[in-house]
Amino acid sequence: MAEIFLKTLPFFALIGLGYGAAATRFFSQEATAWITKFVFYFALPAMIFRFAANLSLGDILDWSLIGAYLWGTLFVYALATLIGILRGLDIATNAVEAQCAVIGNVGFLGLPMLALLLGEASIGPNLLVLAVDLIVFSSLIVILISIGKEGRLDWSIFRTIGKGLIENPMIVAIVLGLGFAALPVEMPQVAADFLTTLGAAATPCALFAIGASLASKSAERLSIAGYISFFKLVLHPAFVAFAALYLFEVESFGAGVIISAAALPVAGNIFILAQHYGVAPQRVSAAILVSTVLSVGTVSGIIAWAATL
């Protein structure tokens, strides 16, 4: 575990560097927004496209792996939702809390970190986890918030969801990368070098941006943030592990990857959604901050255990 911890430390150190730069106002919120935009629309899609272009759909499509991750995630989502109902939360707030309980920072943190720690073979399972998060759960939260705010299901919301998926650069990069991999052509060296160079900027810039964005996060509602962090950092990987190892019998390496991905802290894009719809942005902010700080210790332990499977 000590070896894994030391390997994860530079990733969290970059997050800490970004936090320090923003907390001292050396790096402004506007600058953070622009570097995040660069990563989201340029660097990270280049990395994902390059990864996907070296795979094939047959190589990565594993229905038992998808089933295990989806079952474990839905179970924890349902548990968080049930507790929210017992606490008297409205539908929209409950949907936001449940989303925080199961959706981790797979794109900005998970892909580069797990590729380094577990090897490039982890990229395929990671892309499946990312696709499930974006297609299933990003759609689900929008539907539930819409029901909570309108009191009914407005079918036009599906047009918005479809448009959002089509315009999401990570989904586009996965689809285009796999599409290119299916072609009987080899990528020109100049294109490969371009993608490698641009994609190499994704990891340091994404981690720095995560840290810088944390500096603007609120530390209010710490009891709720702690409860959500327990769900995300402990229960989510635990139930994904149970599903992968006992219910779906996923092969050991793939199981280790999706368990590790499930152990990641709360994703920052949930705050963007919460802020956009005006639903509990403060508690999302606190959950991201607390789960990221706690994950410095928990993530390395879970990855170290998963690597032994």
**Please, are residues 128 and 67 in contact by the beta-carbon 8 Å criterion?**
no
Residue 266 CB-half CA count within 13 A: 32
Higher pLDDT, 4 or 284: 284
pLDDT at residue 28 is higher than 70: yes
pLDDT of residue 86: 96
Contact partners, residue 25, CB within 8 Å, separation at least 6:
none
Nearest to 161 by CA among 181, 144, 138, 184: 138
| Local confidence band at 265 (pLDDT 50, 70, 90 cut-offs) | very high
Token pair for residue 53? Answer: 């272009």
The total of other beta-carbon atoms located within 10 Å of residue 154's CB is 14
**Please, are residues 69 and 244 in contact by the beta-carbon 8 Å criterion?**
yes
The total of other beta-carbon atoms located within 10 Å of residue 42's CB is 16
User: What are the domain boundaries of the chain?
Assistant: 2-306
The dihedral sign for the CA sequence 29, 222, 300, 3 = positive
Decide: helix, strand or coil at residue 24.
Answer: coil
- Does domain 2-306 bear CATH number 3.10.620.30? no
For the segment 207-252, what is each residue's pLDDT rounded down to a tens digit? 999 899 888 776 666 888 999 999 999 999 999 999 999 999 999 9
- Residue length of the chain: 309
For the segment 43-94, what is each residue's pLDDT rounded down to a tens digit? 999 999 998 998 887 778 899 999 999 999 999 999 999 999 999 999 999 9
